[in-house]
Structure 1
Amino acid sequence: MSRSLTPYNRRKATVAAASATPRPTAPALTNAPLDYAYDGSFEGLLTVLFAVYDRKAAPNSIQPLGEVQGGLFAQPVQIDTNEATATRVWDGLLRHMDKEARARLYHVFLSEQPDRELLVFRYADLAMRSARDISENYADDNVRRVAHIAQQMFREKHRMEAFVRFEKTSDNLFHATIDPDFDVLPLIAPHFTKRYADQRWLIFDKRRRYGLYYDLQRTDVVQFETSTPQRSTDISATVLDEREPLFKLLWQSYFDHVNIPERKNMKLHRRHIPLRYWRYLSEKQPREQRFQPINNKRPVQPGGPALPPAPSDPNDSEPGKA
């Protein structure tokens, strides 16, 4: 039996020494605070984080270029996005937090909170200056907010994956329009790419004016520019597949027939499927045809069999007759 060349006690001491080695800390921010501006992308925000420590100047504010509000005597410092620098910062964060905690920073960015940029900076700065993991330090307000936002994002992502309904167009494209509370399209892309890999589809976020398009090869981000905002989640009936109304009717009929009126509990139903998601669901749309229960039950005759005998075939001859 082979053994390690390093004795157990020595290996244990080596591991203990490695764990006792202090983690690298962020440089002190000794210069006067600055206002930073970036292009609004997550890579741009990571580049700003690098610039903060490179200039040793804490941020007074971090604002997207389209929302910059300059002061009376000072203008924000514009930081150009550098993908190589952003990758370096993103990889470097793993020295101070695990992958799950790092993913929360991306979720905070997608949450579109008014102070999301400063929240990302404060969480990352706290992690880099702490000697231990901070992901469960809920006594800190920033850690608690990041965890809460990440939970909200996960819930919205899960519901979008469950409640999105596609409509088939005449050119065999499956289309869905959504309006989530948070920017969850980047989070749901892997789910739909894997689940609907055999069909072309487009999921469009009408609030943020961009979507995901899958062409049977890969999923790309697409944007649409229109002069008037879209107010409806429906697309024109002229571009739908001619069988789409039938599919909708069949789905509604199935939903009606599997429903059990005696077990109706709307309070529980709204808890699992909130009202704001009903607009996506075919079974929640107004019925074009009135629901009629299937009348396939035969009454039980008193003192007789539970079911009447099956009717005889008129083509069969009676016994004893040719």
Structure 2
Amino acid sequence: MSRSSLLRSQHVPSSGVDTTLRTRRGAPQLVNSPLDYAYDGTFEGLLTVLFTVYERKAAPNSIQPIGAVQGGLFAQPVEVETDEAAANRVWKGLLQYMDAEARTRLFHTFLSEQPDRELVIFRYADLAMRAGRDISEHYADDNVRRVQRLAQQMYREKHRMEAFVRFEKTQDGLFHASIEPDFDVLPLIAAHFTKRYADQRWLIYDRRRHYGLYYDLHRTDIVQFDAGTMPQRSTAVSATVLDEREPLYKLLWQAYFDHVNIPERKNLKLHRRHMPLRYWKYLSEKQPREQRFEPIRNKRPVQPGGPALEAGAADGE
């Protein structure tokens, strides 16, 4: 899959097209025999497939990335070459049948990596075009419910990644972080980290999908590595790559986390709900402590039935 096209596709909505929702004539009837379609796995490629479906007037039996095509015994899938002009036309045209937020949910559905995401997106778009209006609240339809549910899951994963990313500084001043999200959320968090950390070079690497975001103080780009070139854990490169002060920063962060914790209010069930276990291996505060935690002894003693003493009064000062 072309990752750079995914990053660019976020900016397609700001194309200067009138975003006012209008009712239009429905989509053309798909009167020809259904076909199997294959595309290059990019979002633009999928939009080109949608254009081809109505051009050929042949509904899809399946829409699959070329590398994962499972053809029939007698029929070969139609390979659709990505056409950015056609993809742009489809993306802009969807605004005639849905608002910008509903259209964005289709992009989020694509990033969810569900096995049948292509057909879900086609059915949702086709239903909207045949209705000639927005269908985002038509929850009687299974595809509308799925798009809504997947968009909610993507938003939750995006929010967690923005909160749980932990950077480590290398000797050359690069801040790097490793993540393994359930969904392909890097295109969704790029703008957040570019704006928040605009004064430092950083790399966020998705180990599950073997690509990352790199910011060089000027722009954010997609970078890709071979699966075997990255260590399994970020700590595996600490001795040779990390800045010499990074272990101290990690220790300070762990100390802060321990001291703001209130043992009497410990609730592991709630804690794991807000911070699932699958994220812990990349969180500094969840790593084994190099030194035993000792609470700060700065609480004033209290006499039974009396007010709190001054800080040194209990010692006879």
TM-score range, shorter chain: 0.7 to 0.9
Q: Which residue identity does 2:292 align to in structure 1? A: R
CA contact (8 A) 1:206 1:230 kept: no
| Alignment partners' CA distance in 1, 2:255 and 2:187 | 34
Aligned mates of 1:22, 1:135 — CA distance in 2: 15
* Residue 167, structure 1, aligned to residue 180, structure 2: no
Map 1:1-322 → 2, pairs under 5 A: 22-227=23-228, 230-237=231-238, 238-297=240-299, 299=301, 306-307=309-310, 308=312
User: Residue 3 of structure 2 corresponds to which residue in structure 1?
Assistant: none
* Contact 1:31–1:58 under 8 Å retained in 2: yes
Structure 1: which 5+ runs fail to align? 1-18, 312-322
C-alpha RMSD of the superposition: 2.2
Q: Which structure has the greater CA radius of gyration? A: 1
Contact kept, 8 Å, 1:26 with 1:125, in 2: the verdict is: yes
SS at match of 1:234: helix
Uncovered stretches (5+) of structure 2, i.e. residues with no partner = 1-20
User: How many angstroms apart in 1 are the aligned matches of 2:302 and 2:23?
Assistant: 81
Report the secondary structure of 1:236's partner residue: helix
For 1:188, the aligned partner's letter is: I
Q: Deviations over 1:271-300 (max 9, x none)?
A: 211111222221111100000112234546
C-alpha separation between the residues in 1 aligned to 2:86 and 2:303?
82
Question: Compared with structure 1, are the counterparts of its residues 246 and 71 closer, same or farther at alpha carbon in structure 2 (3 Å cutoff)?
Answer: same
Alignment deviations for residues 97-126 of structure 1 (CA, whole Å, 9 cap, x no partner): 000110011011000000000111000000
Structure 1 residues 230 and 50: CA distance shift in structure 2, 3 A = farther
Amino acid at match of 2:55: D
1:25 shift after superposition: 1.5
1:157/1:304 Cα in 2 relative to 1: closer, same or farther (>3 Å)? closer
| 8 Å contact from structure 2 (residues 231, 237) kept in 1 | no
Identity rate of aligned residues, in percent? 76
- Greater Cα shift, 23-32 or 151-160: 23-32
Q: Quote the Cα distance in structure 1 between the aligned partners of 2:128 and 2:200.
A: 43
| One-letter amino acid matched to 2:172 | D
1: CA distance, partners of 2:220 / 2:206:
15
Measured after TM superposition, the shift of residue 232 of structure 1 is: 2.5
* TM-score, with length taken from structure 2: 0.87
Query: May I ask how many residue pairs the two structures share in their alignment?
Result: 292
- Following superposition, the deviation at residue 258 of structure 1 comes to 1.1
Q: Distance in 1 between matches of 2:73 and 2:231?
A: 38
Local SS of the residue matching 1:269: helix
Q: TM-score, normalised by structure 1?
A: 0.86
User: Any idea what SS the aligned residue of 2:235 has?
Assistant: coil
For 2:227 and 2:176, how far apart are their aligned partners in 1? 18
